[in-house]
Amino acid sequence: MTDSALIDDLLADQTYYIEFNGHLTNHVKHAVVALYGIGAGPEEVRRYYENYAKLTAYGFGLEAPRPSSVRITERNWRQYLGKRIGFAGYCEFFDAEEQRLGMTGLLREYVPQLLDGWTGSFTHAMIHLGWGLDADSRWMAIEGLAYLAFSYVACHAERAEPVPSTGQTAAEALLALTRTWDAGRDRLAHEVLEVVSADAGDLHAELARSGLQYRIARMLGEGHPLIYGSTGWLTGKDVATCFAELYYAASLIYLSQPGDFVLLHLITSLYAMERLAQDLPAEQQHEVIRAFWVGMLGIVFAERLFPKADKLATLHELLVGAVDDESFEADWAQLSGRARLEEEEHNPKLVYVLSRLWHRGGRETIHRAAAGQFTRTPALPPSFEEPPNE
């Protein structure tokens, strides 16, 4: 078996369910893509896969696949969006549809209807889909599409106001929002806390057990005018420019709170969404960008993760336009070596994405700086003392 064939087999594996211990996402295929991408050999990747299946960083092993309680069809597939049932049924449905339409046709047919739910499962369904496409894994992409439907939580990008171009970059728009947040920090934080703490009977009970996913779903459901009125920066720009600006903004906010587990996901999910956009028509690519911006801000609002405006501005002044020379190439070998030692798979994912950005985008210093800020597996909240709600 060739090296690539072994990796392909791992990504096509159907031995384990997409989640474990309730809503915790099975990340192992994300780790396979990242580890192989930063230089791990196939046997090293296989060992990681096997060890992760036995015991994840959360202290639980992966679980066997669950049969679907419903049959998903062309008539009813929308009916179960976000109900957290029928994952296997969605896989069967999208598998058949891919055979009928091809992968590009499948994505163009269903992504426009699923895109708004990209923050479901705390962005991991989108990561699964986009990273599956990145690895050219048919089955992983089908799983990702099924997981999007299974865990769908709308971010309501349609609420974004059609504001005229502001002449800002994404980072400057983020800085403006941060200054507004600073000016009313106590009031805004209190408003958000009331929203994310409120009871919402329409949300799945397992999200309440999560805490994080519940807060994000509540914030996105309720929304905030500051989120919807901040999209002027992307008006009139081509898709490549928008994604480059988003990568800079996501890396900037991550560096403002280095190692933050929540903010790291903005970088890895953005990579997934950029890869997905490549298979969509131009007009849909701009919708991907808008959905990411609205969802990103919803996550930042929900967790009240706005940094101090002065700190973000200072980081921006230090890093905007900063470029490394070729001597920093050696840093990536060290970062990759460190990441391959990590049990927490988010760290090799971080290095994988930012290394690719650095090498393709002109060696921007911000991406190397962010790649070195490793995260830790967060402690599970007290709600996990209760059994899953499904």
Per-residue pLDDT tens over the stretch 49-93: 999 999 999 999 999 999 999 999 999 999 999 999 999 999 999
**Which residues sit opposite 153 in a β-bridge?**
118
Q: What is the pLDDT of residue 332?
A: 97
Q: What is the pLDDT of residue 385?
A: 85
Q: What pLDDT, in 10s, does the model give residues 9-23?
A: 999 999 999 999 999
Q: Which residues contact 76 (CB under 8 A, 6 or more apart)?
A: 70
SS3 20: strand
Q: What is the pLDDT of residue 248?
A: 98
Q: What is the pLDDT of residue 2?
A: 63
Q: What is the pTM of this model?
A: 0.97
Give the distance, in angstroms, between the CA of residue 39 and the centroid of all CA atoms in the same chain. 23
| Distance of alpha carbon 135 from alpha carbon 5, whole angstroms | 12
Give the distance, in angstroms, between the CA of residue 136 and the centroid of all CA atoms in the same chain. 18
Identify whether the C-beta of residue 149 lies closer than 8 Å to the C-beta of residue 213: no
| Distance of alpha carbon 190 from alpha carbon 376, whole angstroms | 28
| Distance of alpha carbon 127 from alpha carbon 132, whole angstroms | 8
Q: What pLDDT, in 10s, does the model give residues 170-193?
A: 999 999 999 999 999 999 999 999
Chain position carrying tokens 């705390």: 122
Q: Please work out, in degrees rounded to the nearest 5, the angle formed at the alpha carbon of residue 168 by the alpha carbons of 187 and 157.
A: 65
| Distance of alpha carbon 278 from alpha carbon 112, whole angstroms | 14
CA 109 vs CA 67, 97, 131, 161, 279: distances in Å:
26, 10, 19, 26, 11
Percent of the chain with pLDDT strictly greater than 70 = 99
Where do the domains of the chain lie?
A: 3-63, 87-150, 157-320
Ranges of residues in the chain whose predicted pLDDT is under 70 = 1-2
